[in-house]
């Protein structure tokens, strides 16, 4: 009797193990299977499907806010490929938004009549005591720089 209970239990375990949920095999594609994109989601013929926010920018890693001294700041926002919007408070009296673009060593822009460029540097290179020792900075010119903390 005991042997038959053991054998019945073993048989039940084997049956239960075989009843576990099996994953269905992936359907095999046929020659008639194609992936179609709805016409309304396709870009017009000859047009590029490029989102300006994700398009290539040489200095994309500079996007965001950079802090200077006494409330000064620069905020960089990528636009069209190779273009940027710069919002800056560059001194106590000068606040504005400027169009910037990729250049060889940074982002060039025009402020008033001056042709300027944001370039990579460190706090010591800004010439500003408050920024001394900072490692990740952008410099416009002597006495004007912005860093990330």
pLDDT single digits (tens) 20-74: 555 555 555 555 444 454 444 444 444 444 444 455 788 999 999 999 999 999 9
* Model-wide pTM > 0.75: no
Q: Are 137 and 122 in contact, with CB atoms under 8 Å apart? A: yes
**CA separation for the pair 104, 139 (Å, rounded):** 15
Residue 64 CA to its chain's centroid (Å): 11
Helix (H) or strand (E) holding 84: strand 83-91
Percent composition of the chain: helix, strand, coil (DSSP 3-state, to 5): 20, 35, 45
* Domain spans, the chain: 60-147
Asked whether the beta carbons of 125 and 134 are under 8 A apart, the reply is no
The pLDDT of residue 27? 54
pLDDT recorded at residue 48: 46
Helix, strand, or coil here: 97?
strand
In this predicted structure, which of 8-12, 31-35, 105-109, 114-118 has the lowest mean pLDDT? Answer: 31-35
Residue 138's pLDDT is: 97
For the residues 71-79, what does the mean pLDDT come to? 96
Query: Cα separation of 72 and 70, whole Å?
Result: 6
């Amino acid at each position: 009797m005991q042997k038959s209970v053991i054998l019945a239990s073993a048989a039940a375990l084997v049956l239960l193990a075989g009843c576990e949920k099996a994953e269905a095999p992936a359907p095999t594609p046929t020659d008639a299977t194609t992936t179609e994109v709805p016409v309304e989601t396709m870009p017009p013929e000859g047009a590029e499907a490029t989102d300006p926010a994700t398009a290539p920018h040489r200095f994309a890693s500079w996007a965001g806010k950079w802090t200077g001294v006494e409330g000064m700041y620069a905020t960089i926002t990528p636009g069209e490929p190779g273009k940027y919007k710069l919002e800056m408070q560059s001194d106590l009296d000068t606040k504005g938004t400027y169009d910037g673009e990729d250049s060889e060593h940074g982002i060039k822009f025009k402020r008033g009549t001056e042709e300027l460029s944001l370039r990579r540097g460190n706090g010591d290179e800004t010439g500003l005591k408050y920024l001394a020792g900072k490692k990740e900075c952008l410099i416009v010119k002597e006495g004007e720089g912005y860093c990330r903390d």
